[in-house]
Amino acid sequence: MMLKPFTHPWGEGIEGTPLKVISMIGACAGFLTFGYDQGIANALTQNPDFYATLPRLKGDSTILGTVLALFVLGAMFGCLTMSAIGNKFGRRPLILFATVTTLVGAGGMAGANGLACFCVMRLCNGYGVGILTSIVPTYVGEISKPRIRGMMMSLELVAAATGLMTSFWVCYGFRNEHGGVGWRLPLGIQGFVLLATLVTMLFAPESPRWLMEAGRIDEGRQVLARLHGQAFADAATLEIQEAIAVEHAAQRGKGYAECFANNDQCFRYRTLLAIGVNAAQQLTGINMATYYSANILIQSVGMSPNKATLVLGGLGIAGLASMIFGCFVLMENVGRVRTMLIGCAGCMVGQILLAAGVAHQESKAAGYIATLGLYLFLCVFSATHLPTAFVYSSEIVPLAIRTRAATLGVAVQYILNFVVVMVVPTAIPGMGGFGFYALFAGVNGAMIPFIYFFCPEVSGLTLEGVDELFANGKVIMRRTTRVDDNGRIGGKSLHQLEANKEQGSFEHVEKVETGYST
């Protein structure tokens, strides 16, 4: 029996819950690698053999920050690749390609014996992760039912938090390994996770929305029927075709410029929202905490290396628990926008406590305050900004430009990630620690009004229902999380509210009772 190409999945007889589980395992395994890479840098920066193998990094914080940030730079290029070709080849083949690329990069870093090889492999590893983090949220959103779409998309982010927690405990487990094993094996461990993605994605279906966008309507309907049943497939197919027709009518071109077109579907506004929420995620200062958390605890707080790695292990567990709470309680019940607002306020308080503790690190009590601030910051971030940025940026953009706009947002996130990771080693000593953390506290507070006034709520809506928030060039600033039984805006009262609004105006809809259910 001949093997099918990667563009056609195996196991076409699999359907229902088993098919959903297979698809989610493949997607989540790739995201676990993303989280793991964020924290494993602590195993590198605390290992003597790492600096003996790559002596250029020892004592030069600028070069160290640049080399670590190459992962982020590679991820940015991966996102831009997705923007350019994501709609051409489909979601599933690119997930497989990205998984192989990430696997090669992880193995190459673990076996590197020179700085040049390590840098190239770190770029390669980041490139694959960048593709995964930009395509997986879109893929998961397009195979999920609207009422559980946020929860399904959140599973991949729970995997990312699990990866971060795992990396912290791996660092703790190898804390006494001062030879090559202490940093090479932690880098190579992620390869075992990636094998799960390779195996499961061979059986996962292609995105039904992408198939219909490519003109393969019957194939898309069959995928929906395998996932959710024939009745849902028939109804969803009509809605998707309607949305495609509306978006194509608004679309004038196929390049990046189309993402910023001021048309009847508000492409420009929606693209800027996708970019904005991803930028907000990085402007919280999260990668200062994940990449250099061990350095913060040792240098700024004054902990011993062994105690710092143990504290990080506990921080990983707390972050995972917070992520689960945020994904399955906060984001679905409170809504995407309110969750982001809670995140800004909580992260600001955490950074204030961290700054206050570091400013008086000669006191033992101040060390506890700083550690509490770091815990609060990472837990609040894990429950709020981490899930909402990826989910919201994938939901808010229309199908016609979804891949390009969503991945542009993630690319901006990685650009800011690169800047933060590169400057932290010199910025913390240069600003005395206190000033650096206080700066991020101010940024978190400043983001609150921008999120409140410019981000409409999309929780509970179908992807086609999201389009109704931007119909006829009008932006409806939805506040409620209520929807009609079909996951659409619906309700005559809502349409009457927007009927006489001028193009480009904002309608703040706090509550619409007619025809809505919880």
Task: Tell me the CATH number at 255.
Answer: 1.20.1250.20
Q: What whole-number distance in Å separates Cα of residue 277 and Cα of residue 298?
A: 32
Q: Which two tokens stand for residue 250?
A: 């608004």
SS3 per residue for 380-445: HHHHCHHHHHHHHHHHHCCHHHHHHHHHHHHHHHHHHHHHHHHHHHHHHHHCCCHHHHHHHHHHHH
> Is residue 37 in a domain?
yes
Handedness of CA 42, 48, 49, 52 (dihedral sign): positive
Q: What whole-number distance in Å separates Cα of residue 198 and Cα of residue 388?
A: 27
> Is residue 383 in a domain?
yes
Local confidence pLDDT in tens for the 518 residues of the chain: 445 556 677 777 788 888 888 888 877 777 788 888 877 877 787 788 888 999 988 877 778 878 888 888 898 888 888 777 777 888 888 888 999 999 999 999 999 989 999 999 999 999 998 888 878 878 888 888 877 776 777 777 788 888 888 888 888 888 888 888 888 998 888 888 788 888 888 888 988 988 898 888 999 999 999 988 888 888 888 888 887 787 677 555 566 788 888 888 888 999 999 899 988 988 888 877 766 677 677 766 677 777 888 887 888 888 889 988 988 888 878 888 999 999 999 999 998 988 888 777 667 787 788 888 888 998 999 899 988 887 888 788 887 787 778 777 777 887 887 787 777 666 666 555 577 778 889 999 999 999 999 999 988 787 778 888 888 888 888 877 676 655 566 543 334 334 434 443 434 333 332 232 32
Quick one: pLDDT at residue 251? 58
- By the 8 A CB rule, do 416 and 73 touch? no
Q: Which residue range forms the structural domain that includes residue 84?
A: 17-204+251-454
> Is residue 112 in a domain?
yes
> Is residue 69 in a domain?
yes
Which residues partner with 477 through β-bridges? 508
Q: What whole-number distance in Å separates Cα of residue 339 and Cα of residue 341?
A: 5
Quick one: pLDDT at residue 495? 40
> Is residue 518 in a domain?
no
> Is residue 49 in a domain?
yes
Residues 6 or more apart whose CB falls under 8 angstroms from that of 112 comprise 53, 54, 118, 121
- By the 8 A CB rule, do 226 and 214 touch? no
- By the 8 A CB rule, do 90 and 205 touch? no
- Helix or strand run (H / E) with residue 114: none
Amino acid 500 reads: N
> Is residue 228 in a domain?
no
Quick one: pLDDT at residue 43? 74
Quick one: pLDDT at residue 516? 29
Which residues partner with 476 through β-bridges? 507
Residues 6 or more apart whose CB falls under 8 angstroms from that of 428 comprise 292, 295, 296, 299, 300, 436
Quick one: pLDDT at residue 349? 94
Q: What whole-number distance in Å separates Cα of residue 18 and Cα of residue 8?
A: 18
Number of domains in the chain: 1
407: left (phi over 0), alpha (psi -120 to 50) or beta: alpha
Q: Which two tokens stand for residue 254?
A: 């196929």
> Is residue 243 in a domain?
no
What is each CA distance from 224 to 139, 231, 301, in whole angstroms?
A: 13, 10, 53
